[in-house]
Structure 1
Amino acid sequence: MSPRRQVVLAILVLALLGLQVRLWTGEGSLRHVASLKQTVATKQSENQLLFERNRLMAADVDDLKSGLDAVEEIARRDLGMVRAGETFFLMIEETGEDDAAAR
């Protein structure tokens, strides 16, 4: 083998080794691509949850815009609304600890 061929062969081997190193390490490597795929899958599942939450919120907004039933329900639950003529009863449950302390 001539020295010229040996130099060309050595350059080709070094280039092949350099490409292999790049393939297995660094940005764009197989490990990096797998990590990015995992990140994309995680973000897609988060986006699906957020999409569902937004859909429910849009339905609530439509209910609030279309009628008073949803507004009344929220007022009763969160603000303690009682209509005229209604009687409000507050039921307080005694816990087991209070019963033992009273004895």
Structure 2
Amino acid sequence: MLSASAPDLNAVRLVARIRSQGLTWMLAVAIVLLQYPLWLGEGGWLKVRESANRIDTQQALNLRLQTRNAGLLAELGDLKQGRDAIEERARNELGMIASDEWFVRVVSAHTVQSGKTNE
């Protein structure tokens, strides 16, 4: 009788072992399936990291463009004010005047006496 129940006991152990290993494999598969969205899904870690790199690149580009724009604005301001500076130089150094202007030059008495001018 021991020999007849021994296969039954081995079969029971085998079924119990398969059940426990099956449960282990099912849990392992469930963990892998739960991890997939975290790593590779729509809002996964890899996508977030890639987006962060693109944001850093874009911010560096924006900073460089803002610096360039500030330089262009400064140059534009110089050109606007430079026109006044150019007109002033033309009046003082070259004696140029506009058609609707009067140009009066005041010469100091010291310059008149010595006969020298600052030109």
The alignment's TM-score, normalised by the length of structure 1, stands at 0.50
The alignment's TM-score, normalised by the length of structure 2, stands at 0.45
Higher helix share: 2
Please say which structure displays the higher CA radius of gyration: 2
